[in-house]
């Protein structure tokens, strides 16, 4: 047989065997460009931001946005664990895990978690980044004063003024009687919003400074305050003389307290108080704060009387008999 023909037939046979093997056993022929398994690209936490979400009287929802930086090869099974930790106790308040999935493009990806926490105190927000259940990075941020996040029914653009030249509450003497003084009270409100404020009312409460006894309480309708306007609300109160009072004003909308302020009225010329402190104790006569409408002449105007009574006994006759008996016994004893 011709040698060349034999070599050609052998080569054809090898090619046929290789082709059949490649079909029956995939991967038997290695790709010369294959470098083995592809390593996942690096991922880390680029930034964490916190936003205030819906709030109720007891809780607030915090929106935690985590930005994840990814480079090079695709990375599978990426997830983020977010925890809210009470800043005072160190206890975990709530936890949420967010599945990010597979990251294929270079750049940043975003994972958002919503954590509902009590509307009080502060929290440390801990973010942990996982790849295939392996912790690869973490970050931490803090938030304080969560109670300042108000629910919708407490949110208002209207409040008492805070200027020294236009204080939130002021008073003047309307009538000074022998025992009582009538005060004209004024509360000043400002609407800093873009819409009119409606259904407002102001409650004036006068408390005797040292005892905290409520001497007067009255509520006045504040009406509607237009956007950007400053309006005053007036009321009167009659209180006992020679005492100092705190004037508390409370702004309400549909029965909900949305703001408050305090002033002071010094009706005792020898002692003064400020909004934040008192100076010394004074003698307090509780009857000065009794409601005159409840006092009647029968209960308050009367003459003191004296009553005489004797305890049960035997009277003067028995006492005389006892004296004679004692004398008789003494005489017999002396004999």
pTM of the model: 0.57
Does residue 282 belong to any structural domain of this protein?
Answer: yes
287 & 174 share domain: yes
142 & 163 share domain: no
What's residue 276's pLDDT? 59
What's residue 277's pLDDT? 52
Check: CB of residue 81 under 8 Å from CB of residue 97: yes
Q: CA–CA separation, 104 vs 68, rounded Å? A: 12
Does residue 142 belong to any structural domain of this protein?
Answer: yes
pLDDT in tens, 104-124: 989 899 999 999 999 999 999
Does residue 308 belong to any structural domain of this protein?
Answer: no
If you count DSSP H runs as helices and E runs as strands, how many of each does the chain have, helices first? 3, 15
167 & 281 share domain: yes
The CATH number of the domain where 75 resides is what? 2.60.40.10
Strand partners, 158: 191
245 & 129 share domain: no
Asked which of 148, 178, 207 is the last residue of a domain, the reply is 148
What's residue 2's pLDDT? 60
Does residue 139 belong to any structural domain of this protein?
Answer: yes
Asked which of 86, 113, 148 is the last residue of a domain, the reply is 148
Does residue 328 belong to any structural domain of this protein?
Answer: no
What's residue 309's pLDDT? 40
Report the b/e string of 182-209 with b at 16+ CB within 10 A.
ebebbbbbbbeeeeebeebbbbbbbbbb
Does residue 299 belong to any structural domain of this protein?
Answer: no
Does residue 23 belong to any structural domain of this protein?
Answer: no
137 & 214 share domain: no
138 & 237 share domain: no
**Mean confidence (pLDDT) of the chain:** 80
| Size of the chain, expressed as the number of residues it contains | 335
Q: Please count the structural domains in the chain.
A: 2
Pairing of strands 59-70, 92-103: unpaired
229 & 179 share domain: yes
110 & 163 share domain: no
pLDDT in tens, 191-246: 999 999 998 999 999 999 888 899 999 999 998 999 999 999 999 999 998 899 99
188 & 93 share domain: no
173 & 238 share domain: yes
Q: CA–CA separation, 134 vs 123, rounded Å? A: 26
141 & 168 share domain: no
- The parent domain of residue 255 ranges over 156-291
Asked which of 274, 291, 308 is the last residue of a domain, the reply is 291
Nearest to 203 by CA among 160, 156, 154: 160
Pairing of strands 197-208, 214-225: antiparallel
Does residue 331 belong to any structural domain of this protein?
Answer: no
274 & 191 share domain: yes
């Amino acid at each position: 047989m011709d040698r060349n023909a034999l070599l050609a037939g052998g080569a054809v046979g090898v090619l046929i065997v290789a082709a059949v093997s490649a079909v029956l056993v995939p991967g038997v022929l290695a790709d010369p460009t294959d470098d083995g398994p592809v390593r996942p690209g690096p991922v880390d936490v680029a930034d964490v931001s916190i936003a205030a979400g819906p709030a109720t009287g007891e809780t607030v929802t915090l929106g935690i946005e985590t930005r994840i930086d990814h480079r090079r090869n695709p990375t599978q099974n990426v997830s983020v664990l977010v925890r809210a930790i009470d800043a005072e106790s160190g206890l975990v308040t709530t936890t949420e895990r967010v599945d990010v999935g597979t990251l294929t493009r270079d750049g940043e990806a975003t994972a958002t978690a919503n954590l509902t926490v009590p509307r009080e105190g502060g929290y440390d927000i801990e973010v942990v980044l996982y790849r295939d259940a392996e912790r690869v990075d973490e970050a931490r941020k803090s938030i304080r004063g969560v109670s300042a996040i108000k629910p919708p029914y407490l949110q208002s653009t209207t409040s008492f003024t805070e200027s020294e030249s236009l204080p939130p509450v002021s008073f003047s003497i309307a009538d000074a009687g022998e025992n009582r003084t009538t005060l004209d009270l004024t509360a000043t409100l400002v609407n800093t919003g873009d819409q009119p404020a409606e259904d407002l009312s102001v409650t004036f409460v006068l408390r005797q400074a040292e005892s905290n006894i409520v001497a007067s309480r009255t509520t006045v309708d504040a009406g509607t305050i237009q956007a950007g306007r400053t309006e005053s609300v007036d009321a009167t109160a009659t209180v006992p003389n020679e005492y100092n009072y705190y004037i508390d004003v409370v702004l309400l909308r549909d029965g909900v307290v949305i703001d408050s302020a305090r002033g002071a009225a010094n009706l005792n010329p020898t002692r003064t108080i400020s909004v934040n402190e008192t100076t010394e104790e004074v003698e307090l006569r509780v009857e000065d704060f009794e409601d005159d409408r409840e006092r009647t002449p029968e209960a308050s105007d009367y003459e003191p009387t004296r009553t005489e009574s004797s305890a049960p006994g035997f009277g003067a006759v028995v006492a005389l008999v006892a004296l004679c008996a004692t004398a008789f016994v003494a005489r017999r004893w002396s004999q």
